[in-house]
Each structure stands twice: as C-alpha cells, then as structure tokens.
Amino acid sequence: MEISRNRYFLAGMLLILLGLQFRLVQSFVLNESATRTLIRVSKSNPVTASESSALGNFIRDIAVPRPKKQVEPPRWLGLALVAIGAVVSLHAVALPKEG
C-alpha cells in the first residue's frame, strides 16, 4: 500500500490538532479503569493505602473514592507535535499529484 499525499496531509493535520490540544490543556485526569491499567503496566504502588484485612478492603471500597491519576504532559510536547505536523503537511503539499 502506497501512502498518498492525502494520507500525509491527514496525518499532519491530526498531529497539529493533537499538539494544539496538548498546548491548551495542562493536565488530564484518568478514570478508574485507566488508572488501574497504568498501575498494572508500570508496576507501581496503588494510590490508596493498602489494608491487610478483608473487612478493611470492603470498607475502603465502599467509603473511599476510587483512585484517579492526574497526568501532566510536558509543555514542549504540544509544540513539538505542532511542528512535526506542519512539516508533514507541507511535505504532502510538495508531493506530486496522483494520476
């Protein structure tokens, strides 16, 4: 499968839009399932304190709010994505037309 200029342009525009979103948003709050997956993948300790008894676990699950991780992407990431997207989009304009 050959990559046409339309696909290059689409990839560049998606990178630009993703970069703008990273520039406008300071942090993302993950939901419970994403937080659990991140903990499992990174093999780090959970956000909440661990209890040894079954009754303590049951009470903690009911009374304590579920852990939610806050992710703060670096400021340079958005600018880098916008720059790469602009280069890819300009490359798409420079490619010859098909046909």
How many angstroms separate the CA atoms of 68 and 36, rounded? 9
- CA torsion 15→21→22→24, rounded to 10°? 140
For range 27-53, the mean pLDDT:
73
Map out the domains of the chain as residue ranges. 1-26+74-99, 30-71
Residue-wise pLDDT tens digits, 42-94: 876 555 544 456 666 666 566 556 667 888 999 899 999 999 999 999 999 99
